[in-house]
Amino acid sequence: MLQLDKLEHEVNVDACAEVILKNTPPPAQRIRKPDNYVFTIKIIEAEDLKACDINGLSDPYVVLGDEYQKRLAKTRVIYSSLNPRWDETIDITTQGPLNIIATIWDWDTLGDHDCVGRTSLKLDPSHFRDFMPREYWLDLDTQGRLLLRVSMEGERDDIQFYFGKAFRTLKRTERDMTRKITDKLSAFIHHCLSRRALRSLLSNKLTVSSVTSYFQRNRPQSVAQGPTQGDVAKALEPLFNYFDENFAIMKQTLTDSAMVMVMTRLWKEVLATIESLLVPPLSDKLSQQRPLTQQELDIVFKWLQLLFDFFHAVDEEGVPCGVPIDILKSPKYHELQNLNFFYFESTEDLIRTSEAMAAANAARQQEQQARLNRLSAPASGHQFGGALGLLGMPSRRHKTIMLSRNLGTMKKAKEEKRKEAQADPNDDMILRILRMRPEAERYLKDRSRQKERLAAAQAAEMIVRQSLNAGGGRMTGTMPRNSR
C-alpha cells in the first residue's frame, strides 16, 4: 500500500485528472455508455436469531445472492451467538436495479447447514441519488433481523477513481488478513472475559470461615468483600500469557505497522467483549440478560484498565511500545466509561437523561440541516420506497472510493469520523441499560417510534429540499451523468 501511495504522488493524480477534465470534449461529442453504479454493502450484525443448536445458540453466517441465484458474498462464521456481528464489506457493480437476498445459515460440522432466516433488499440507483450511505434493519422471515449499511457511487472512468478503487481493495484485503489472525484469538478472549470467569473469581472468595460468618448475625459478613487487586489481575494471567506467546510468534514475521494493526484489532475485540458483558445489544424489546452486581462491575472495569495498560505496553523507561493511546481511547472506550457512570442510576433518572440527550441531538440535527439548506443542496432528486424499515437512515460518508485514493485522504476521513463520533453523544448506551429494566418496556418502544419518526421526517425534508432545488421537476428524474 505504501508503494501505491508513492506511485500516486509521483504520478500526481489530482493534476492529471484536472488536465484530462479541461480537455474532455463536450457531452454531445462523446459516445453514450451505460452507467455503472458501485454499491458497497456492509453486513454489520444480526440480533435475536433463531436457535438451531442443542445448546440454545447458533453458529451463523450470511450468504448474499442476487435474484438470479448467483452467490455474491459469504461472511465468516460467528460461533455460539444469537446476536452475531460480522462487519464485512463487499462491492457490487450494476447498471440498474438489483434485488439481493440475504440468507443466514447455521454452520454445522456434520450434515446440512440449517437455515436461520431470509430477507431481501432492492438496490435501486434512484434511491441513492444523494450518494449518502443508509442503514437498513431487515426483518427475517423467521425471527430476528439483519443490519446492512448500503452506499452507492457512480463508477467514473478517470484516474482518481481507479486509484481509489485500488487503495480500497488493498485496505480491505489488509483488514481481512488482520481479521483472519485475530479471529483465531477471539475465542480465548471471550472465555477469559465472560460471566463464567466472573462467577469463578467471586466463588473463590467463599471460604468456610466466610460462609460461617454469613450465618452469624453478630459478626460482620466478610462474604461481601470482593476480590483483591491481585486476585483480579491473576484471573487475567492466562490471557496475558496467551497474548505474549502469540505476539512473540507474530513479531518474527509481521512488520511493526502490521503488528500494531493486529493489536488494535484485538483491542477492539476486547472492548466489544466487555461491552457484551455489561449490556445487551440495542433493541426496543426487553432483554433476558441480567445486569451485573456492583462487585462484578468493579471487576470488569479493573480488567479493562489492566488490558489498557497491557496493550499500551509502557517499558521501564516510560516509553510506550504498543498501541498508541489515542487509538486505545477510542469512542467505544469512552462509551464504556460512560456506561460505568450510568449503570446503577435509577430507571427514572436514566429515562430523563435519555430524553434530554434525544432532545439535544434533535436540536443539533435541525441546526445542521438548516445550515446545510442555507449553504448548499444536492443537485438532483431522491426517491424512497416502502416502509420505514426499508427506507434506511442516512449516515455520513467516510469510506467512499474517492476518499480512498491515497493514504492522506484515508487518514483525513478516518480522523473526521473519529471526531464526529466523539462530538455526537447519544443515548444508545442508556437504552441498552434500560433493556435490563422491566419497568422501562414502554419507554423503549416509545423511544424506538420516536427515532423512526425523526428518520422519516429527515427523509421527507430531504425529498422536498431536493425537489425544490431541481426547480419543481420530477423527483424520479435520471441520475446526473459523470463526465467521461
How would DSSP label each residue in 131-179?
---EEEEEE-SSS-EEEEEEEEEE---SHHHHHHHHHHHHHHHHHHHHH
Looking at residue 111, what is its pLDDT? 83
Do 263 and 406 reside in the same domain of the chain?
yes
Question: Does the pLDDT at position 274 exceed 90?
Answer: yes
Helical residues (DSSP H) of 343-481, grouped into ranges: 347-375, 388-391, 407-423, 428-434, 441-469
Do 142 and 198 reside in the same domain of the chain?
no
Contact 57, 81 (CB under 8 A): yes
The candidate with the shortest Cα–Cα distance to 103, out of 150, 69, 64, 72, is: 64
Who's near 412: CB < 8 A, 6+ residues apart?
Answer: 403
Instruction: Give a yes or no: residue 451 inside a domain.
Output: yes
Question: Does the pLDDT at position 456 exceed 80?
Answer: no
Do 136 and 162 reside in the same domain of the chain?
no
- More confident of the two residues 158 and 218: 158
Question: Does the pLDDT at position 442 exceed 90?
Answer: yes
What is the mean predicted confidence (pLDDT) over 446-474? 68
Do 294 and 178 reside in the same domain of the chain?
yes
Instruction: Give a yes or no: residue 218 inside a domain.
Output: no
Give the model confidence (pLDDT) of 122-148 as tens digits. 998 888 776 678 888 899 999 999 999
Least confident window among 70-79, 391-400, 468-477: 468-477
Do 188 and 118 reside in the same domain of the chain?
no
| Three cell numbers, residue 261 | 494493526
Question: Does the pLDDT at position 88 exceed 80?
Answer: yes
CATH of the domain at 53: 2.60.40.150
Looking at residue 203, what is its pLDDT? 86
Do 84 and 229 reside in the same domain of the chain?
no
Total-model pTM: 0.72
- More confident of the two residues 22 and 360: 360
Least confident window among 136-145, 235-244, 316-325, 403-412: 403-412
**Residue 58 C-alpha from the chain's centroid:** 21
Q: What percent of the chain has pLDDT over 90?
A: 39
Question: Does the pLDDT at position 423 exceed 60?
Answer: no
What is the mean predicted confidence (pLDDT) over 288-315? 93
Do 112 and 185 reside in the same domain of the chain?
no
Give the 3-state secondary structure of 65-90: EECCCCEEEECCCCCCCCCCEEEEEE
Least confident window among 1-10, 12-21, 43-52, 467-476: 467-476
Residues pairing with 120 in the sheet: 101
Instruction: Give a yes or no: residue 336 inside a domain.
Output: yes
Do 196 and 72 reside in the same domain of the chain?
no
- More confident of the two residues 464 and 258: 258
Instruction: Give a yes or no: residue 212 inside a domain.
Output: no
Looking at residue 439, what is its pLDDT? 94
Do 335 and 451 reside in the same domain of the chain?
yes
At position 234, the amino acid (one-letter code) is: K
For the chain, give the mean pLDDT. 79
Give the model confidence (pLDDT) of 369-416 as tens digits. 676 665 544 433 333 333 444 455 555 555 555 555 556 665 666 666
Neighbours of 274 (CB within 10 A): 20
CATH of the domain at 435: 1.20.58.1100
- More confident of the two residues 233 and 460: 233
pLDDT band at 272 (very low <50, low <70, confident <90, very high): very high
Instruction: Give a yes or no: residue 386 inside a domain.
Output: no
Instruction: Give a yes or no: residue 332 inside a domain.
Output: yes
Question: Does the pLDDT at position 306 exceed 80?
Answer: yes
Q: Tell me how far apart the alpha carbons of residues 167 and 169 are, in angstroms, rounded to a whole number.
A: 5
Q: Tell me how far apart the alpha carbons of residues 281 and 258 are, in angstroms, rounded to a whole number.
A: 31
The boundaries of the domain holding residue 425 are 1-32+158-206+223-381+398-478
Distances (CA, A) of 469 to 259, 379, 397, 455: 50, 7, 22, 21
Number of domains observed in the structure of the chain: 2
Do 277 and 341 reside in the same domain of the chain?
yes
Do 238 and 334 reside in the same domain of the chain?
yes
Give me the half-sphere count of Cα atoms (radius 13 Å) on the Cβ side of residue 39: 26
Who's near 390: CB < 8 A, 6+ residues apart?
Answer: 121, 136, 138
Instruction: Give a yes or no: residue 268 inside a domain.
Output: yes
Question: Does the pLDDT at position 484 exceed 50?
Answer: no
Do 242 and 113 reside in the same domain of the chain?
no
Instruction: Give a yes or no: residue 297 inside a domain.
Output: yes
Question: Does the pLDDT at position 225 exceed 60?
Answer: yes
pLDDT band at 117 (very low <50, low <70, confident <90, very high): very high
